[in-house]
């Protein structure tokens, strides 16, 4: 999926309900209550934190291009997709990203596998001294330990890793672009992987579009690594999956809820504003289907909020709050989050 198509896909989901900057915060992986809840509200888990290094300048330029091309419009500070924009959406193309699950950690996996391939290639050529393609010390230490644990002196290790990579690349969800990007980025003996600049020139694609395609490849590979089929690669994917998707602060709040503390008590214990704890509750509900919200809102109130939201085709808090004044903004947010989380 190209970068502009990604933006259109997200904007289509939030059309008329969020500002033009909402997709930027989503792609960057901003850990605010609003962005976290929007992930669940609009079912945008795939795109969360896929471009943490995205600059505002590049983002604004892309938005300007979409506006100038009449793919989107800004009305009263809200972004809307046009009919032309809807027509430009990828047809029947499955979203291949899994940003919520990896949040940038797929790059750690890539660094590991790139350095392992480079190192084994050097060793097979009897060249022990070389400049590692990956400069990150944590990656270098990890790979050193990995090679020792897997007995890198055995010829089978290179063969096994090659076979397992080929197996992953044969996944039908991947296309030729995905496969060639992965291969071209790898470094080996007397061969450096291609840079992003070289790849953008070769494919005549934007830097961001190339990077999104590469991310799709990594996410699909990671989604399909298993001990049964990839015993050599599975260790390279260690700690890459996000087991606890909560932010550190929300995790601490959740631990106190599990101990039976109320929201007011937690705010006092943690010396945080009640609004912050409310944001944590939204985040917890977004990630935990079993978290009970009965102490915050009744089942009847949840149903009223969801019914009204569906009837008016909106998730704008002020509109719903005006129609149901007896519920708080927090309760509206909670009901919408729970409702979308249930229907995932």
pLDDT digits (tens, 9 = 90+) for 141-159: 999 999 999 988 877 899 9
Alpha-carbon distance 47 to 45, whole Å? 6
Q: Based on the fold, state whether residues 156 and 126 are members of the same structural domain.
A: yes
pLDDT band at 98 (very low <50, low <70, confident <90, very high): very high
Average pLDDT in the 306-324 region?
A: 92
**pTM higher than the cut 0.75:** yes
Predicted local confidence at residue 319, as pLDDT: 93
- Residue where a domain stops, chosen among 237, 266, 287: 237
User: Does any domain span residue 242?
Assistant: no
Q: Based on the fold, state whether residues 207 and 142 are members of the same structural domain.
A: yes
pLDDT band at 341 (very low <50, low <70, confident <90, very high): low
Predicted local confidence at residue 155, as pLDDT: 73
3-class DSSP assignment, residue 245: coil
Q: Based on the fold, state whether residues 167 and 112 are members of the same structural domain.
A: yes
Tokens of 79: 């972004």
Q: Based on the fold, state whether residues 193 and 275 are members of the same structural domain.
A: no
Q: Based on the fold, state whether residues 88 and 199 are members of the same structural domain.
A: no
| Overall number of domains in the chain | 3
Q: Based on the fold, state whether residues 157 and 182 are members of the same structural domain.
A: yes
Q: For residues 152 and 120, is the Cβ–Cβ distance under 8 A? A: yes
- Residue where a domain stops, chosen among 204, 237, 270: 237
User: Does any domain span residue 146?
Assistant: yes
Q: Based on the fold, state whether residues 289 and 170 are members of the same structural domain.
A: no
User: Does any domain span residue 101?
Assistant: no
Determine the structural domain holding residue 224 and report its residue range: 106-237
Other residues' Cβ atoms within 10 Å of the Cβ of residue 36: 28
Mind listing the pLDDT tens digit for each residue in 227-272? Answer: 999 999 999 999 999 877 788 899 999 999 999 999 999 999 999 9
Q: What is the CATH number of the domain that holds 65?
A: 1.10.10.10
């Amino acid at each position: 999926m190209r970068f502009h198509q990604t933006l259109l896909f997200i904007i289509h989901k939030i059309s008329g309900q969020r500002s033009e900057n909402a997709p930027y915060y989503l792609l960057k992986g901003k850990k605010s209550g609003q962005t976290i809840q929007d992930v669940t509200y609009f079912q945008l888990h795939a795109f969360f934190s896929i471009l943490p290094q995205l600059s505002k300048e590049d983002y604004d330029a892309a938005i300007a291009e979409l506006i100038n091309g009449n793919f989107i419009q800004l009305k009263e500070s809200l972004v809307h997709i046009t009919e032309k924009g809807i027509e430009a959406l990828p047809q029947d193309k499955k979203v291949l990203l899994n940003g919520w699950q990896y949040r940038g950690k797929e790059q750690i996996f890539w660094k590991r596998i790139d350095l392992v391939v480079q190192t084994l290639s050097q060793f097979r050529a009897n060249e022990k001294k070389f400049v590692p393609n990956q400069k990150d010390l944590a990656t270098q230490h990890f790979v050193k330990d990995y090679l020792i644990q897997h007995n890198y002196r055995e010829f089978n290790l290179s063969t096994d890793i090659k076979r397992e990579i080929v197996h992953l690349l044969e996944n039908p969800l991947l296309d030729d672009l995905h496969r060639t990007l992965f291969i071209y980025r790898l470094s080996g003996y007397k061969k450096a992987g291609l840079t992003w600049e070289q790849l953008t020139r070769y494919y005549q694609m934007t830097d961001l579009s190339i990077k999104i395609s590469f991310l799709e490849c990594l996410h699909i590979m990671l989604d399909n690594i298993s001990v049964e089929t990839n015993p050599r690669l599975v260790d390279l994917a260690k700690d890459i999956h996000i087991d606890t998707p909560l932010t550190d602060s929300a995790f601490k709040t959740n631990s106190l809820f599990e101990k039976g503390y109320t929201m007011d008590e937690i705010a006092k214990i943690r010396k945080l504003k009640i609004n912050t704890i409310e944001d944590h509750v939204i985040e917890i509900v977004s990630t935990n289907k079993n978290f009970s919200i009965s102490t915050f809102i009744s089942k009847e109130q949840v149903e009223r909020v969801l019914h009204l939201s569906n009837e008016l085709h909106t998730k704008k808090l002020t509109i719903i709050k005006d129609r149901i004044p007896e519920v708080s903004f927090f309760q509206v947010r909670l009901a919408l989050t729970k409702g979308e989380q249930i229907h995932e």
